[in-house]
Structure 1
C-alpha cells in the first residue's frame, strides 16, 4: 500500500491499520497491461449541475465534479489520440420509475428535468464529454457498467486487458465497476483526479478500498504518460 500522504485516505489510517496492510501485503501495484479502454462512468449533467445553479440539481456533486470531469476529459482525449477506445455510460431511469428496482426502496424517484430521468436534460452527457465516432455510448440501469450491458463483450472483442475508470460517483458506480472488472480479471486503473463523489469521506474510503485490493489508484499524470506510449491503442512490447 503506497504511503503517499497526498492520498485522500491517508488521514483516516491509524498505525494499527498500517500494520494490518503491511502484514497482509495489500496494495501492490498491478500495473498496466497491453491494451486499454477508458471507461467514463455517468459523466452526465445531473451529476455535476451547472456553475452558479447547483441548488436546482438534486444529485449534483458541484464544483468538485466539474473539475474531475475536466480531468477525465483530458484522459479521454489522450486515449482517443492514442487509438484506445473510450466507452461512456449513462445512468437513466424511466420517468415513471418502472425500471428503478430496489434502488427505489432507498431513494425517492425525483420528478425533475435536472435528475437522471430518460429524455431529461440531466441525463445528457456533460459539457466536455465528446465521444469519438469509434467510441461507444450506452445506458446502464445499475451501478456497475458491466451489469446488464454489452461492455464485457466489447472489451473481449477489442482484446482489452486494462480498464482506466473515470467519472462518478467514486463510492457508487465507479467502485462497483472496478470490483466487477477485477472479477473478470481485468486490470483496473483509477486516475485519482478524474473520479469524484458528493461526500469527501465516501470518496476517500472508496479510493482506499479500490487501491487496497482491486485497482491501482494513480496520479492522472502517470496515466496520461502511459497513454502517450501507445501506438494504435497498444503498448510497446
Structure 2
C-alpha cells in the first residue's frame, strides 16, 4: 500500500459497529456476527491497553419506527422489536456496560473509560448525524479501524464516509460479519486481518 492510505497506528481509533446482543445471538442475529465476537473483543483489549481511542457505535430503534431508516419503519410499526431502548438485545456484546438510551438518543456519547465511548448513530454510517468526526479530530486521530456487524450495511457505509472525510481507513477482514473481500479496494480502504492490526499497534 502507498503512504497516502497506509494506517498510522499511533493515531488510530477503533470503531466497533452494531456489536449488540440482538445482532450476535438474538432473534435478529446476523450470520457470522457471533463468530467474530472474540476477534472484536481482542481488538478492543489491544486498543484499550495501548491507550488508543475506542468508539462502540450502536443502533437503537424506537417502537414507533420514527428514528429508523425508511426500509425498516413498517416492520417496527407492526410491532417487531429490534434493539429497542432498555431491551436486553440492545446492550453491547463487546463490553460490560449498560446503555443509557436517553443520553445516547440525545446525541451525547456515553463514556466507558478514559478514551472509550458508546455512540448512537441514527442511520447506517457512524458519521451521519453524529459528532464522531469532531471527536476524532479533537483526539488527533487520522486513522480508523472498523470492525463489527453486517459489513454490507453499516460498516460499509461507515468506511465509505471515513474515506470521504480524508481519514486513513482500515477494514478488519476477519472482524466484520458478511465481509466482501475487495469491495472497497478502489477507494483506498485497506483490508487487514486482526493479527496484522494487533502487530501494528504493538509495534
Q: TM-score interval w.r.t. the shorter chain?
A: 0.7 to 0.9
- Describe the shift of the 1:185–1:130 C-alpha distance in structure 2 as closer, same or farther (beyond 3 A): farther
User: What is the match of residue 140 of structure 2?
Assistant: 159
Q: 2:7 aligns with which of 32, 42, 55?
A: 32
> Does the 8 Å CA contact 1:72/1:194 hold for their aligned counterparts?
yes
User: What is the match of residue 129 of structure 1?
Assistant: 95
Contiguous gaps of at least 5 residues in structure 1: 1-26, 51-56, 198-202, 230-237
Cα distance per residue 1:188-227 (max 9 Å; x no partner) = 1112111103xxxxx32xx422233231111211100011
User: What is the match of residue 191 of structure 2?
Assistant: 217
Q: TM-score, normalised by structure 1?
A: 0.72
- Describe the shift of the 1:122–1:209 C-alpha distance in structure 2 as closer, same or farther (beyond 3 A): same
Distance 2:2 2:84 in 1: 40
Structure richer in helix, relative to its length = 1
User: What is the match of residue 108 of structure 2?
Assistant: none
Largest Rg, 1 or 2:
1
User: What is the match of residue 50 of structure 2?
Assistant: 82
User: What is the match of residue 156 of structure 2?
Assistant: 175
> Does the 8 Å CA contact 1:69/1:195 hold for their aligned counterparts?
no
Structure richer in strand, relative to its length = 2
Distance 2:88 2:185 in 1: 34
- Describe the shift of the 1:101–1:66 C-alpha distance in structure 2 as closer, same or farther (beyond 3 A): closer
Distance 2:12 2:69 in 1: 32
Q: TM-score, normalised by structure 2?
A: 0.83
Contiguous gaps of at least 5 residues in structure 2: 98-111
Corresponding pairs, count = 185
The alignment's C-alpha RMSD in Å is: 2.0
What is the Cα deviation at residue 129 of structure 1?
Answer: 2.5
